[in-house]
């Protein structure tokens, strides 16, 4: 059944000149039909160069908006219309505009997990894999980092020479994980290295052997000589890694490490989107797009 549906999707995407992009939190069956699977930085870069006239983003809304910002001439679809990222909706443009007035000499650095509207007042955009590099590279010494306080704290700790103001937003899925869960997992698997996403709380990240983006975590586990890993991000990464390195032992840091938003998209949703029976086409008004894409362009320029 799955193979049949995958075959139909592969044929349809070729026939309709569609590029399927999938975030690494998608399930294995969705990743298998994608032209490209990656973290949010790699997806943004790929979106720019994809030659197809249509893109289906299997991920969450801000990722599809990023594709539309970078490729306004393309038809861009979000494969499941309700797949949003709660963190992206946490901060309102007008509120941040007021905060900006309070700190006029601070550059606003926005995590890519934000709405297109909020990006219009950001000076720079970053992803989890590019945040440290970009915050180091920008000329400004003072940075107002929005919205993720955990990622912001991680970046701040890597760049002590700069001044950071952080606001208290974040990812409900990653922020739910507590220090005692890491300690329990380490006790259970004493030989395993702990790999966590920087959206985790600082006290969780402090116990990690490696902190990085979804792709960063996967690369680390694949390339490492070590054989056991506790994975501190969405549990789909445990599954993908187990396929990629069957000889290694991979443990979920918590059985609750599940992003309900990323889990919405299924293989039948991708099919429905391709056949015009599902998904949602993304539209951005040109004024918002032009204002928001500036910080994404800078991100790609500085992120390399």
Question: Binds 54, which of ligand 13P, ligand SF4, none (CB < 5 to 8 A, cut-off by type)?
Answer: none
β-strand partners of 78: 57, 280
| 193-196, strands of its sheet edge to edge | 210-211, 193-196, 228-232, 249-252
- 17 phi-psi bin (left φ>0, alpha ψ -120 to 50, beta other): left
| For ligand 13P, the closer CB: 36 or 103 | 36
CA 120 to chain centre: 19
**Per rule CB under 6 A, is residue 204 in the interface with ligand SF4?**
no
| For ligand 13P, the closer CB: 54 or 129 | 129
Q: Are 64 and 77 in contact (CB under 8 A)?
A: yes
Question: Cis ω on the peptide bond leading into residue 147 (within 30° of 0)?
Answer: yes
**Per rule CB under 6 A, is residue 213 in the interface with ligand 13P?**
yes
Question: Binds 269, which of ligand 13P, ligand SF4, none (CB < 5 to 8 A, cut-off by type)?
Answer: none
**Per rule CB under 6 A, is residue 9 in the interface with ligand SF4?**
no
Contact positions with ligand 13P (CB under 6 A) in 53-92: none
**Per rule CB under 6 A, is residue 235 in the interface with ligand SF4?**
no
Distance in Å, CB of 173 to ligand 13P, minimum: 7
Q: Are 265 and 24 in contact (CB under 8 A)?
A: no
Burial of 56 (0-12, 13-18, 19+ CB in 10 A): buried
Q: What angle do CA 129, 205, 183 make, to 5 degrees?
A: 145
Here's the x/- map for ligand 13P, 88-127, by CB under 6 A: it reads as -------------------------x-------------x
Distance in Å, CB of 254 to ligand SF4, minimum: 13
Question: Where on the chain is the footprint of ligand 13P (CB under 6 A)?
Answer: 39-40, 113, 127-129, 171, 197, 199, 213-214
């Amino acid at each position: 059944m799955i193979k049949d549906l995958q075959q139909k999707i592969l044929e349809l995407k070729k026939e309709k000149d569609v590029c399927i992009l999938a975030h690494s939190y998608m399930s294995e069956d969705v990743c298998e039909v994608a032209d490209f699977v990656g973290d949010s930085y790699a997806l943004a870069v790929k979106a720019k160069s994809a030659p197809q006239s249509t893109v289906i983003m299997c991920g969450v809304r801000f990722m599809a908006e990023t594709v539309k910002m970078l490729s306004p001439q393309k038809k861009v679809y979000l494969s499941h219309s309700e797949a949003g990222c709660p963190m992206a909706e946490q901060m309102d443009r007008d509120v941040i505009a007021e905060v900006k007035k309070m700190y006029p000499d601070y550059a606003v650095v926005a995590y890519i997990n934000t709405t297109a509207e909020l990006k219009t007042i950001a000076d720079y955009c970053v992803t989890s894999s590019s945040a440290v590099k970009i915050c180091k590279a920008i000329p400004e010494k003072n940075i107002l980092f929005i919205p993720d306080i955990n990622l912001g704290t991680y970046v701040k700790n890597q760049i002590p020479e700069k001044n950071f103001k952080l606001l208290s937003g974040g990812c409900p899925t990653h922020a739910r994980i507590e220090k005692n869960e890491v300690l329990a997992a380490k006790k259970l698997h004493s030989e395993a290295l702990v790999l966590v996403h920087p959206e985790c709380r600082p006290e969780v990240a402090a116990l990690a052997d490696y902190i990085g983006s979804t792709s960063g975590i996967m690369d680390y586990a694949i390339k490492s000589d070590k054989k056991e890993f506790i994975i501190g991000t969405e549990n789909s990464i445990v599954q993908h890694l187990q396929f990629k390195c069957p000889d290694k032992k991979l443990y979920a840091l918590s059985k609750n490490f599940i992003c309900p938003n990323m889990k919405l998209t299924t293989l039948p949703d991708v099919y429905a989107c391709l056949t015009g029976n599902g998904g949602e086409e993304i539209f951005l008004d040109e004024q918002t797009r032009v204002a928001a894409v500036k910080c994404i362009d800078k991100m790609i320029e500085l992120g390399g």
